[in-house]
Amino acid sequence: MKEQWHFWGHWNEPVLFSAIFMSWGNSHIVKKFSLPIKGDMKAIKHDYYVLEQDYEWLGKRARESIEKNDGYLEKIFAYCHERIAQMQKSGDLDLRDFIAEMADYAALTNVIELSAKALDQYFEDLAEKAGVNSADFVAMMLPAKKTPLQEYFNQAQNVSEDGMEAFIKKFAWVGTHGLEGEGLTREQVLADQKGSKQEAKKACPEALKNIQPYASEFVYLRSAIMETLNIAAFSQRKAMTELGQKHGLAYEDVISLTWEEVIGLIDNGVVPAGVKDRKRVFGLQKTGKEYTLLTGEELAQAVKEHQVVVENDQEVSGMSAYPGKVTGIAKLLDVNTDVHKVNEGDIIIAAETTVDFVPAMTKAAAFVTNQGGITSHAAIVSREMQKPCVIGTQHATKIFKDGDLVEVDAEKGVVRKVEK
């Protein structure tokens, strides 16, 4: 029987970062909680797919836990907090141990992200039934505990010139994602001092109080797990750079390896054939314990298999994460280097926002994403910055291009092209 695949999302990552998320089928979290996850995955030109059966099981089990209050999710959440605390100390590990730890830790993202994604419609239906619009629902579900990025925004407001150097050192990872990005600068801190606006959490109606703790925890963990990984990965860049130099490889070559290949390079000095030819356009499939790297005709066939045809070329609709109505120039963000093309007042169009997009989000007037629900990064940052945001449009990055004049109506959840 042919496997059925579920589209998870689009993230433009190097091979190493793609590979760590593909190891979840054999991870501690899956074993500890006896999750019936097969774990096969594939990334086709940065579009990530998981098995439909794995996605459906996680969503069904999470909803069941909420409705029956059986403690399953609470145990998953507690374990994630425990692992976050461990990852916060991983900067002291040698590179080999860190790579193995990173691969196991990444499975938390799979379990939490996929469970939350599967629950989004359930949460939205309950909010609608309670008469709560999507933007207010996001505000009600903000986490009680701040994520590392929220801590950065909070502390940035009070940084003096005398304390700037120490502050930048403390939050040097801000502006990075995974294994890439440039890190925090003085200019970015000054911009974020103007751009961040704190807002109180909205009161939750009685009809939604039973789901509030779950939604809030998903919001926190979706961001905190990845931000903590970003911090740890940033601390290991020097070691990865030195490993590459030892074997005649650039840093970009090292992050073009799978995590098992990095360990093989450390242990045995084995440089895989053709590693310098691995570019950002690739396909990677994990079946059982085996990786298949797709290039050329194999990659073209995989792209064709999952290709989606989009007909409407004028507008998209989605869910409002923060209200407002603005018009600006569209700028599509796919890789972290794209942040430099965003100017004040532009409209960010992305598959999904990540931490390395924050410098651009500070400048932008609004955000529009293909993916994401009420627990997504874009939804939370838009609330933090109080900027209009429409999420879950499915195809915004296929409809709009750089330079389009775009109107974002986050009151109605509609984004459309405007004649210049």
Predicted confidence (pLDDT) per residue in 172-218, tens digit: 999 898 799 889 999 999 988 875 565 666 788 898 999 999 999 99
User: Residue 279 above 80 pLDDT?
Assistant: no
Distance CA 194, CA 147 (A): 20
Query: Which single residue is written with the structure tokens 């097969």?
Result: 38
pLDDT of residue 369: 96
pLDDT of residue 1: 62
Domain membership of residue 348 as a residue range: 315-417
138 is a domain residue? no
Q: What are phi and psi of 299, to 5 degrees?
A: -65, -45
35 is a domain residue? yes
Where in 90-200 does DSSP place strands (E)?
176-177, 180-181
Q: Are residues 272 and 402 in the same domain?
A: no
pLDDT of residue 301: 87
Judge contact between 288 and 373, C-beta under 8 A: no
The partner residues of 328 in beta bridges, in order of sequence, read 406
302 is a domain residue? yes
Query: Which band of pLDDT confidence, cut at 50, 70 and 90, is reported for residue 318?
Result: very high
pLDDT of residue 376: 87
**Domain stops at, among 288, 307, 326:** 307
**Domain stops at, among 265, 286, 307:** 307
Q: Are residues 223 and 77 in the same domain?
A: yes
Q: Are residues 273 and 335 in the same domain?
A: no
**DSSP symbol at 200:** P
Q: Are residues 110 and 229 in the same domain?
A: yes
388 is a domain residue? yes
Tell me the Ramachandran region of residue 401: left when phi exceeds 0, alpha when psi lies from -120 to 50, beta otherwise.
beta
Which of 332, 275, 305, 262 lies closest to 3 in space, CA to CA? 305
**pTM of the model as a whole:** 0.91
pLDDT of residue 373: 83
Q: Are residues 21 and 127 in the same domain?
A: yes
Distance CA 11, CA 354 (A): 9
Q: How many domains would you assign to the chain? A: 2
Predicted confidence (pLDDT) per residue in 135-180, tens digit: 888 888 877 788 999 899 889 989 999 999 999 999 999 989 879 9
Q: Are residues 301 and 323 in the same domain?
A: no
CATH number at residue 350: 3.50.30.10
